[in-house]
Amino acid sequence: MTQALRYSGLIIKPTENFYNWISGEEIGNQLSAELFELLKSTSLDVMRANATVMAVPLISGDKESAVKKFVAKNASDIIEVELSRWELSIDEKPSDTDDELVQAWFDISYHTHIFSFDDEGK
């Protein structure tokens, strides 16, 4: 008998701050022509509708506090994943701390029991 591994998820949606930064001249000029055209034809609402889901261990207890700590601890990874969607390197982000950027750039919500796998990953 296999044991199910249960994961919850963080839903990561860009904010207007992120949209304005990535579509600004400084960063926009670093995107490939194809990505830059895609970005220019993409609204913030469309970007938010195509949110990232990050699988995380189930969180118990004070969820709000635990999620804040998890996000702060993993802020660099969150930024790296979101920038990689636009073929940008984490080296291209502003010099703010990663936690500050995550708070400014993304709305993050926690949802329980999004994923359930057996111990073989199925």
Across 60-88, average pLDDT:
88
Pick the closest to residue 11 from 97, 88, 106 (CA basis).
Answer: 106
Residue 122, domain member (yes or no): no
Cα(68)–Cα(52) distance, rounded to whole angstroms? 17
What rounded mean pLDDT belongs to the chain? 83
35: in domain: yes
Domain count, the chain: 1
Question: Can you give the residue range of the structural domain that contains 106?
Answer: 5-117
Q: What is the pLDDT of residues 84-108, one digit of tens each?
A: 888 888 788 888 888 899 999 999 9
Query: Is 111 a member of any domain?
Result: yes
Q: Per residue in 34-58, is it b (16+ CB within 10 Å) or e — as a string?
A: ebbeebeeeeeeebbeebbebebee
